[in-house]
Amino acid sequence: MEKEAKKNIRDLNTAELTTFFTSIGEKPFRAKQVDEWLWQKGARSFDEMTNLSSDLRTKLEEYFTIHAVQVAEKQISNDRTIKNAFELYDKNITEGVLIPSTTRMTACISSQVGCSLSCKFCATGRLKRLRNIDADEIFDQVVHIKQQAEEHYNTPLTNIVYMGMGEPLLNYKNVLESIERITSPKGLGMSPKRITVSTAGIAKAIVKLGDDEVKFNLALSLHAANDQKRDQIMPINEQNNLAILAESLKYFYSKTGTRVTYEYIIFKDFNDEIQDAKELAEFCKHVPCKINIIEYNPIDDGEFQQADTAKVDAFAAYLESRNLVVNIRRSRGKDIDAACGQLANKNEAVRHKELK
């Protein structure tokens, strides 16, 4: 019972920590020391807090716990991509990926265990949503991946994308709190302009991002600029259709001045024709934007296939002829199921088999 009563110390802000230390007869500056250990130095146990007395560390252990995230399994791809199975304090598993390129080191992190949106092309969408991931657990994913970038490639982490498992805007509070910690000088000190939050399209939450005047980047998983096609692959479009999304994006841009990124996974014989490109170009008129055309990564028993290279190139060329900024994103980490849309906790499946 006593263990259950312990609070996760990272749920406390500095003022609450100060109150705690004062209540046990300690100096208020102890709160700042503990904060530094937790958010700047990455301490995941009280024993690591070496500028505190052993008695004080014992007292912290008595009252608090740290919901530290562990790397349960790590796989390295032929292209240097690293996929992690992260074990959370309650034994749930989520995944995060380090994506190295010539110009950047990107952490792709998860916001939920599983997902509730059931997008047809995504392996994560076939899992149930078990729970939201807490802000400190999201923070830990970044810390682990940052360390891997430095240890494996001797390069600092440059970018963070909330594009792993789950829908970030359905975990709004924890996602924004995690970004606050990541960008704070008292945390990792990263620029919010290096962070992108990707959504399948929760219009009300996009409006809220505008109201909160967020400084990070927003990406919309679009994949079709035609309601009939988008309905087929993304059930969320039925309540958040393109007209509703366009209004929310206009509002977001008016409040933040931040250009939106459209993610467009291109599927063979589904959304790869010039007509599809024309519809996308029309949708791009709503707000300043750029487009990432993403190579599709087939999933087990998936009904979609990768579009032909010639079709992809023609699609991009048409958009560029309309003076749109286009990037074609080739798959990374395919051989270890770490590519876009492939995160499905296969590690967890193995784990459950072993437990049985």
pLDDT tens digits, one per residue of 59-96: 999 999 999 999 999 999 888 999 999 999 999 999 99
Q: Which pLDDT does position 286 carry in this prediction?
A: 97
CA atoms of 125 and 117, how far apart (whole Å):
6
Average pLDDT over the chain, rounded to whole? 90
- Is residue 355 pLDDT above 60, yes or no? no
Report the predicted TM-score, pTM, of the whole model to 2 decimal places.
0.90
Q: At what angle do helices 274-283 and 309-321 cross, to 10 degrees?
A: 40
Extract the tokens encoding 117: 């949106």
Architecture of domain 2-65: Orthogonal Bundle (1.10)
Catalytically annotated residues: 95, 340
Beta-bridge partners for 86: 71, 94
Question: Tens of pLDDT along 24-67?
Answer: 999 999 999 999 999 999 999 999 999 999 999 999 999 999 99
Domain 70-355: assigned CATH number = 3.20.20.70
Domain ranges of the chain: 2-65, 70-355
> What does each C-alpha distance from 311 to 10, 143, 273 come to in angstroms?
49, 39, 7
Extract the tokens encoding 307: 């579009």
Same fold for the pair 2-65 and 70-355? no
- Is residue 304 pLDDT above 90, yes or no? no
Q: Which amino acid is at 320?
A: E
Are the beta carbons of 113 and 129 closer than 8 angstroms?
yes
- Is residue 356 pLDDT above 90, yes or no? no
Rounded to an integer, the average pLDDT of 336-340 is 52
Neighbours of 115 (CB within 10 A): 25
Q: Which pLDDT does position 232 carry in this prediction?
A: 93
Q: Which pLDDT does position 122 carry in this prediction?
A: 79
Q: Where are the alpha helices (DSSP H) in the chain?
A: 2-5, 14-23, 29-39, 54-63, 135-153, 172-183, 203-211, 227-233, 242-256, 274-283, 309-321, 346-355
